[in-house]
Each structure stands twice: as C-alpha cells, then as structure tokens.
Amino acid sequence: MHRDLLLRTFRKLQDLPRDGSGCHNEKAYRQECLDFLAMVAGMKAAFMTGRGFDDPEWIMGAIGVARKMGLRVRVGSMWRAKPIRADLPDWFAEFAEGARGGDAVFICTERETAEALNWALQRGRVTIAGEAHLLGYPKCCVTAEYRRDEYLDRAYHMILERTANGDEAQIRRLIDEGAQLYPKTPEEEALLEKASQINVAPYTSINMCESCLLDPNSPARRLSERYEQLAYFIDRPFADRFAYARLE
C-alpha cells in the first residue's frame, strides 16, 4: 500500500464540506472515509455510499475526489440479492422491495469491478456471493443481513394484517398514510427483536452475523483487524477516534 497516496486521499476526504444539520455524527464520516480508503488500498472491490448515509454534499465531494484520482464511479438503484419471502403477498413483497430501493453510489478502481456493478445495477439482482465480493463483506454476514430484512418484513405485515383485520384495502391505506403501528403479540415482538440484532464489526460497516460475533477468528473479526491496521497506517489520531467512540 502506498501510504502517501492514502494520506493524500484521506486529507481530501476530511476536507470535504459536510451537512451542518447534525443528521450524521462524526463516527459516520470517519467510517465513510475509512471504507473509501479501504477500496483505494485494495481491501474491498467497491466503496458504496448513499445507503444510510445521506449527506449529498459530502457524497458529491467524494465523487469529485474519485474522478480526479481516475477511479470509476457508478450510480444506480440498489440491487437485491435475495427475493422477498414467498409467504408474503406479491403486492406487499413488491412494496417492501421498493421501500429499500433508492440510488446508491459505487466507486471502484478496477474495470472488471465496474462492469460487474453495471450488470448488477441494470438487472437489479446479484447473488449473495456477488454482493459479498463487491462490497468486501463476508458472505455469511450478507446472508444474515437479508435474513434480518425478512424478519422485519414478516413482522410489519403481521402487524398490518392484525390492525386491519386482514382487510387488504385497509392494509394498503395504512401503508399509504404511514400509520404508526406497534407490535402487540409475542410473535411480532420476537420477529422485530431478531430484525434489530445488529452488531457492527469495529472499524468497519459490516453488520456481523451471529457466528462472526461469537468467533474471535471469524471472517468479520479478521476484516475488522485489517481495517484497524489500515486506519493506524494512515493516521493515528484518526484511528484512535474509532477506539474512543466505542467507549463513549
């Protein structure tokens, strides 16, 4: 890895304008920077932003940095690597999938990666293994992320169906109105509990599966160590802030 290149890139990312409204905390910006740098260092095929991080000014700035570096930028509606559960009504499955849509920005160094991104974005589909490779996440953790989506979809549909007494027209109306609904049954609460079990591997944006969480030598834990090493390789005060944030 060329530390000078990484350090120059790091400084450019740090200097980008940020949203002053406070919609993101400092930790979010640090993670975006480190994920971008991991892509530059070849630790992940593509850097993705704009999903759960919605500071347009910073994102446009990062795109500008990437283009000046000769990197490849792709923008498109996020794909889905696993179908919505078949036991849900087709119309609800389409709604749930659309609710997770929206554009994402991908930045990569290699032509082959850009071509793979084009393929996935045009078709809206990719395999679990394909998503894991493109984003640099363990396959097991990607699988677990989709499983959490399934739990959430099932729980939301159950709550809607109970509230509307099974009336599809009423269910659609509740969705359209953005009704505030809450779980009441043990099954609904259990599904939402499973959907909310998120454990992020330190120094990464990887939501660990249960196996990776419990095993200190798991794929996510090993990636976490590599990202920590990268952060300290670039800038010690920057890396230290990740450690401090875990104690705050």
What mean pLDDT do residues 5-21 have? 90
pLDDT at 141 over 80: yes
Please tell me the distance from the alpha carbon of residue 134 to that of residue 116, in angstroms, as a whole number.
8
Query: What is the spatial distance between Cα 55 and Cα 67, in angstroms, rounded to a whole number?
Result: 19
Cβ-contact 188, 155 below 8 angstroms? yes
Instruction: Give the pLDDT of residue 120.
Output: 93
Per-residue HEC secondary structure of the chain comes to: CCHHHHHHHHHHHHCCCCCCCCCCCHHHHHHHHHHHHHHHCCCCCEEEECCCCCCHHHHHHHHHHHHHCCCEEEEEECCECCCCCCCCCHHHHHHHHHHCCCEEEEEECCHHHHHHHHHHHHHCECCHHHHHHHHCCCHHHHHHHHHHHHHHHHHHHHHHHHHCCCCHHHHHHHHHHCCCCCCCCHHHHHHHHHHCCCCECCCCCCECCHHHHHCCCCHHHHHHHHHHHHHHHHCHHHHHHHHHHHHC
Average per-residue pLDDT for the chain: 91
Point out the least confidently predicted range of 79-88, 107-116, 221-230.
79-88
Note the pLDDT tens digit of each residue in 207-220: 999 999 999 999 99
pTM as predicted:
0.90
Q: Say if residue 2's pLDDT is above 60.
A: yes
Lowest mean pLDDT among 84-98, 165-179, 220-234: 84-98
pLDDT (tens digit, 9 = 90+) per residue, 53-71?
888 999 999 999 999 999 9
By DSSP bridging, strand 46-49 and strand 72-77 are: unpaired
**Number of residues that make up the chain:** 248
* pLDDT score recorded for residue 95: 84
The per-residue pLDDT for 78 is 87
pLDDT higher than 50, residue 248 = no
Residue percentage of the chain with pLDDT more than 90: 75
Q: pLDDT-derived band of residue 235, with 50, 70 and 90 as boundaries? A: very high
